[in-house]
Structure 1
Amino acid sequence: MTPYGRFVLRQDQGLEMISSAMHVGFSFEGKSCQIVASIPSANGHNYLQYELDGVYQKRIKVVGNSTIPISLTAPTAGKHTVWLYKATEAHTGPIFIQKIVGNQLVALQQRNGPLIEFIGNSITCGAAADPSEVACGSGQYHDQHNAYLAYGPRVARALGANFVLSSVSGIGVYRNWNSDGPTMPDVYEKVDFQAANPQRWNFAAFTPQVVSIALGTNDFSKGDGKKERLPFDSARYVNSYVKFVQLVKAKYPKAQIALLSSPMINGKNRETLQNCLLAVKNSMDAMTPADKPLALHFFQPMQARGCAGHPNVDDHAILAQELEPFFKKLIR
């Protein structure tokens, strides 16, 4: 079995799915199989989503106090493949896959193709993108998460690549959307991106060919308008970003690093962000002349149609289409 994304295998609770779009595959014989899943909070809920025979199906609500297994049903009998995904991000809390029940169960092994790691914020998570079941402004924040249909997984599928998402809503490089931290450089090494967790992620688990970093939207944010927020500091942003790229390079010395701007930042801030990312590239390229130069992609401006100004699932399709030729060059 090859789980993709941040996970922990626990003796008592099975596979702990942690990060956005963390996924695992298996095949079964017959017409249906059952997933025994749970979450830590008896009063909470979370979401899985799945592919059946290569076709995306839907999101599945995992309710904390439910003891009923989740049944996945195929239209016909025979051999079927399932890829099971976590629809929500690490900060939503884990989903435990305790058991899979079915006939002739076989774990699916690693799919051929390069691996892309997508580091980012709520956009990369696919947060606030899918109000098809719970309308914007109602329910819990993670009720509109759809990691499977976020731009990163879409790009990877289009290019025949594998992927992992390392993303946290509201996070930035030197400050977050409404706080000074902990920022992505502070939490990237933690297994669940939580600063207080002493458990670190084992970076030997995956070797990405490309690491995509899309951070900056929240550094530019004006916050909630209540908490004091200083103007954007270009020097702090660039210096913090350079240090973070050095950290990523230390984990994956041979990976191609790609920096993405933000489709949600327009006007003068868009120009400032692009200049900052160019400064990060120039600084890193000068420091590491023997390595592959950093790649840059500046998004076209977008009027996002999801919840709270985020891209919705259709917007993510547009972003993915824009990114495909960029990533295709990097993994060839």
Structure 2
Amino acid sequence: MKYYLNFLLFIFCFLSLSCVRSAINFQTADTLPATALQPYGRYLVNQEQNVELISSAVHFGFTFEGEECQLFATIPNFEGHNYLQYELDGVYQKRIKISGNSLEPIQIKASNAGTHTVWIYKATEAHTGAIVIQKVTGKNVKSVKKPAQPLIEFIGNSITCGAAADPSEVPCGTGVYHDQHNAYMAYGPRVARQLGSNFVLSSVSGIGIYRNWNSNEPTMPQVYGKPDFQVNNPQSWDFTTYSPQVVSIALGTNDFSNGDGKKERLPFDSARFVSNYIAFVQLVKTKYPQAQIALLSSPMINGTNRTLLQNCLTAVKRNTDALYPTAKPVALFFFESMQARGCSGHPNVEDHAILANQLVPFFKKLLP
């Protein structure tokens, strides 16, 4: 009988200690709410106090201890999907597909139990839809702030987005448009990483200065002031959020486009292109009066159109410099001709590396 009572006492103590241990583990499991994150790029905090990642390559960082942490992310479209991608301890890992019907958190695993740093990036562009970040959980998880470095804002179209650049998971011609997006590997973020600068991308696939790939509007000058580049959004982007030292504008590819061959497409209007471009540069200068403006040509335009685009950009520079004689002169960069190897004639990730290598010396001279 005494042995039986001692056995029961042992079982009771074991269960009690197990419960205490579980309670302690639960109490010390850290949660980093979305509002504690410090995203870099265009984002919004919604009514549920979650962070909506909007623009291409908008990113945030955090640290955790141990071998894994959990990221809770959703998308508003129950039937759709979107993509994040991430760095772990300074090394790029992969894209992560987020399905609208998924309820499971994203598991981020490390190879050892030390302290690890993670940077999460949105792989897709604003028009793909927001990715909603709810929280991060893990041991001693803490938010990381971007270091104080010079900032480049890259304004552009699908090339700047990194669209159609990565068919490694979904081959060209299959899936949906954003299945091949890879903003992390686009030329802008590559340039910034090589130069040790911060960056934001303000880019929309198919967009132009006075007309788009297959429509007349809304063009970049019409949507630049909207947080998600949607012309009907009543909200305005707060341009005091960032103060870029350099604003890079790479538009024109879609203005030169012949469209889909179905809708009426008038010949390219160089006078309208130049006047609209000058007006857009003036708009940008009202947002960032001290920023250096840099105009980039297009690696996707060749032949006589390449020369015409370069002449147009030179005219934009000449007229803008005359309007602002005491400001820094507008900088020009003309890409070398390229036979792009990505989907639908876009640069792929290897092509973006080539573009970035061309641009690094140019931007290095422009940064403080």
Determine if the alignment matches structure 1 residue 278 to structure 2 residue 346: no
Q: Does 1:115 align with 2:151?
A: yes
Deviation at 1:60, TM superposition (A): 0.1
1:285 maps to amino acid: D
Q: Calculate the aligned-residue CA RMSD, in Å.
A: 0.7
Q: Which amino acid aligns with 1:153?
A: P
The one-character-per-residue Cα deviations of 1:275-298 (angstroms, maximum 9, x if unpaired) are: 000000000000000100000000
1:149 and 2:185 equivalent? yes
Q: Does 2:198 correspond to 1:166?
A: no
Task: Report what 2:243 is aligned to.
Answer: 207
Q: 1:260 aligns with which of 281, 296, 304?
A: 296
1:127 matches 2:127 = no
Alpha-carbon distance between aligned partners in 1 of 2:78 and 2:205, rounded to the nearest angstrom: 24
Identify the residue that residue 225 of structure 1 maps to in structure 2: 261
Q: Which amino acid aligns with 2:343?
A: C
Query: In the alignment, which residue of structure 2 is the partner of 1:102?
Result: 138
Q: Deviations over 1:109-154 (max 9, x none)?
A: 1213100000000000000000000000000000000000000000
Letter of the 2:152 partner, please give it.
I
Matching of residue 184 in structure 1 with residue 220 in structure 2:
yes
- Aligned residue type for 1:107: S
Deviation at 1:184, TM superposition (A): 0.1
CA deviation profile, 1:210-252 (whole Å, cap 9, x unmatched): 0000000000000001111000000000000000000000000
Structure 1 residues 45-60: aligned runs within 5 Å: 45-60=81-96
SS in 2 for 1:176: coil
Q: In the alignment, what sits opposite 2:275?
A: 239
- State the partner residue of 1:80: 116
TM-score by length of 1: 0.99
- Say whether residues 1:31 and 2:67 are aligned partners: yes
SS at match of 1:193: coil
**AA matched with 2:167:** P
Q: Which amino acid aligns with 1:123?
A: I
Q: CA deviation at 1:9?
A: 1.3
Matched residue type, 2:349: V
Look up the SS of the partner of 2:103 in the other structure. coil
SS, match of residue 50 in structure 1: strand
Question: Which one has a larger percent helix, Structure 1 or Structure 2?
Answer: 2
Give, in whole Å, the separation in 2 of the partners of 1:136 and 1:13. 37
CA distance in 1, matches of 2:199, 2:38: 12
Residue 64 (structure 1) aligned with residue 100 (structure 2):
yes
Alpha-carbon distance in 2 for matches of 1:64, 1:174: 35
- 2:363 and 2:173 mapped to 1: Cα distance? 34
Deviation at 1:13, TM superposition (A): 5.2
Please give the alpha-carbon distance, in whole angstroms, between the structure 2 residues aligned to 1:11 and 1:30.
Answer: 32
Match of 2:76 among 34, 40, 50: 40
- 1:184-220 per-residue CA deviation (whole Å, 9 max, x = no partner) reads 0000000100001111111011000000000000000
Identity of aligned residues (%): 71
Q: More displaced, 102-111 or 78-87?
A: 102-111
Deviations 1:19-44, CA, capped at 9 Å, x for gaps:
00000011011111001100011000
Deviation at 1:106, TM superposition (A): 1.1
Determine the C-alpha separation between the residues in 1 that align with 2:261 and 2:232: 27
Q: Which amino acid aligns with 1:16?
A: E
Code of the aligned partner of 2:137: V
If you compute each CA radius of gyration, which structure gives the higher value, 1 or 2? 2
Report the AA paired with residue 231 of structure 1: P
Once residues 49 and 243 of structure 2 are traced to their aligned partners in structure 1, the CA distance between those partners, rounded to angstroms, is: 27
Structure 1 unaligned blocks of 5 or more: none
Q: Determine helix, strand or coil for the equivalent of 1:273.
A: helix
Residue among 310, 313, 329 paired with 2:349: 313
* Structure-2 separation of matches of 1:120 and 1:235: 20
Secondary structure in structure 1 of the residue aligned to 2:329: coil
Cα distance in structure 2, aligned partners of 1:45 and 1:280: 40
Supply the distance in 1 between the matched residues of 2:243 and 2:299 (Cα, whole angstroms). 28
Q: 4+ residue stretches of structure 1 with deviation over 6 A?
A: none
Cα shift readout 1:279-319 (whole Å, capped 9, x = no counterpart): 00000000000100000000000000000000000000000
Match of 1:138 in 2: 174
